[in-house]
Amino acid sequence: MNAVIPYASAGPTPRADDGALHATGPWRVTAADPVLEQLTETLRTLLSPHLPGLLLPAGSDGSGSHTLTLALDDEPSAPARATVGVAPDGGAHPADEAYRLRVTADGIQCLARTAEGVFRAATSALQLIATAGEHGELPFQELTDAPRYAWRGLMLDPARSFLTPDELRRLIDLAALYKLNVLHLHLTDNEGWRIELPGIPRLTATVTDGPAREFYTVDEFRSLQEYAARRFVTVVPEIDLPGHSGTLREALPGLAEAPAPAGLGERFPFIPPLDLTDEATHAAVTRLLAEVCELTTGPFVHIGGDEAFGATAESFAASVHELRAIVREFGKRPVGWQESSRAGVEPRDIVQHWVDVAMMDLPDTEEELTGRPELVAAGRTLDFIKALKKFFAPTDHDLERVVEAGGRVLLSPQSHLYLDRPYAAEFAPPEQTEAAGRLGFGNYRPLGVQHAAAWDPTAYAIPDACVGGVEATVFAEQFKGFDDVTVLLLPRLASVAEAAWCGRAPQWPEYRERLAHHGRLWNQRDLAYFASTEVPWSE
């Protein structure tokens, strides 16, 4: 069976010489073009967990082995669909990622016009090898493919639950294997500041947990970007302002508070957002964003702009306007959460859509609240829920505002792409009942894997000219440790990757059969996952 995720647009095409390749090895990786030599090194690293003892050393003559060949080809089959969205490398047009893959008696050929396309083909080849099963038979076939969306991202949250550089590298590998090409790092929040800025050492002076240092040094951050780039993944750092600034306020006391709506603080405590119209505060933020922009090798810096609870609409809009201007001044293109659209939108602005009131799925009455035990357990009251709905009411018009102004929308809807949603207990195998009850954000209704796989990126009726791309998120309020992250990501990240690449939701009956083979791939990479009973997992 062909279990590749995302599914190749043309599907597997049997070749005239019907037969099968025994994929159990040994294997060697070769480049038919000198410009792909570095790519062979990257691919060997990615393949090593799946071919223990069966991957021949670089330079081996490969006698008796199968060959995974990487080659540039001026005529890979024409893409089945046009690529739309923002190019993560900052180019004027999306990269050519179309590829062709052939399975023959001698091995697998990965063909494309560009190195990036060859790499996408190679990740499909890796999946074929890793999911082939104990007999390891791969039918002779040909796949042709190209992506629908240019920006296919994953957001991680080391601000709240730190991930070491080695852990981030493992997640970069995972993203790349599913043809994701953006890693968005939520580096700052009320709970932590996770990037070293040499000019402002106080930001990380006290960020420790016992003997551990819980931030990325300049060298570590640069190294992570280089590692990602070798896998055609662009790193986008997020400095979340003007709200979510608790750690920044602790490090730099005296930053000006944004004017707050009258009477708000008497009912709900909050950490005051920043006021960037204040000269000293503006200067401090300019200094730190200058350093972030200098450290960032990619073209984008995310300014946050979400949930500025405690700022008037006028103050918030003024601060977002200044944040965008500062990032542009230092040569980067700003990205912001959808609330940033209320500061105005220009065609070049990228706005990340994540919520509206209906999507929040919150009760209206005490009776309805009683029927939501996850909200009761999280301490939510009806008064608090009503205040949330009022605060988020403007979100109902954010998407319309962006599209009408010709901005670019990154689709990250909380309803399906927020992968910190708890799993429904009814789908938990006995050994993961505790994890299903513990993991995930308490505001969200627990649901299953099929729910995430049902997401359709075309449901928003956004013109192609206004599409930025697709990005899954996993915020870290409710967990600690690497395994918690991967259990929330897997298996749901795979369906997001398929929707982002193919531009449509997978067909569940067929998709679950392919997904069933990927537990083997994750086990080979020592990645914990939620073995939902919705899926007939293969050994």
What is the average pLDDT across 271-293?
A: 97
Please check the confidence at residue 25 and state whether its pLDDT lies above 90. no
What is the average pLDDT across 157-163?
A: 95
Residue 138 pairs in a beta bridge with 21
Grouping H, G, I as helix, E, B as strand and the rest as coil, residue 237 is strand
Residue whose structure tokens are 């205040």: 387
Query: Regarding predicted confidence, which is higher, 189 or 478?
Result: 189
pLDDT at 210: 47
CA–CA dist 469, 180 (Å, integer): 11
CA-nearest of 324, 328, 130 to 242 is 324
Backbone angles phi, psi at 124, to 5 degrees: -65, -40
Neighbours of 71 (CB within 10 A): 17
Q: Over the stretch 455-464, which tens digit does the pLDDT of each residue have?
A: 999 999 899 9
**Mean residue pLDDT across the chain:** 92
Angle (CA) 146-147-152 rounded to 5° is 150
Which H or E run contains 359? helix 357-360
What is the domain partition of the chain in residue ranges?
Answer: 13-145, 151-524
255, 284 Cβ separation under 8 angstroms: yes
Judging by beta carbons within 10 Å of its beta carbon (0-12, 13-18, 19+), is residue 326 exposed, middle or buried? buried
Record the pTM: 0.96
Q: What percent of the chain has pLDDT over 90?
A: 81
Q: Over the stretch 33-91, which tens digit does the pLDDT of each residue have?
A: 999 999 999 999 999 999 998 898 888 877 778 999 999 998 766 666 789 999 999 99
Residue whose structure tokens are 């030599």: 37
Question: Is the torsion defined by CA of 155, 156, 160, 164 positive or negative?
Answer: negative
Question: For residue 175, what pLDDT band results from cuts at 50, 70 and 90?
Answer: very high
β-strands 333-337, 350-353 pairing: parallel
Please check the confidence at residue 539 and state whether its pLDDT lies above 70. yes
Most confident of 77-86, 255-264, 437-446: 437-446
And the tokens for 40?
């062979």
Please check the confidence at residue 288 and state whether its pLDDT lies above 90. yes
Please check the confidence at residue 496 and state whether its pLDDT lies above 70. yes
pLDDT at 264: 63
CATH no. for 13-145 = 3.30.379.10
Domain 151-524 of CATH type 3.20.20.80:
yes
CA–CA dist 513, 523 (Å, integer): 17
Tell me the HSE value of 443 on the side-chain side, using a 13 A CA sphere: 18
pLDDT at 376: 93
Tell me the HSE value of 260 on the side-chain side, using a 13 A CA sphere: 19
What is the average pLDDT across 381-389?
A: 90
DSSP label at residue 14: E
How long, in residues, is the chain?
539
pLDDT at 263: 66
pLDDT at 206: 62
Q: Over the stretch 180-226, which tens digit does the pLDDT of each residue have?
A: 999 999 999 999 999 999 999 999 986 545 445 699 999 999 999 99
Question: For residue 485, what pLDDT band results from cuts at 50, 70 and 90?
Answer: very high
Tell me the HSE value of 67 on the side-chain side, using a 13 A CA sphere: 15
Q: What percent of the chain has pLDDT over 70?
A: 95
Q: Residues of 490-513 as b/e, b for ≥16 C-beta within 10 angstroms?
A: bbbbbbbbbbbbbbebbeeeebbe
Residue 67 pairs in a beta bridge with 28, 107
And the tokens for 526?
């020592």
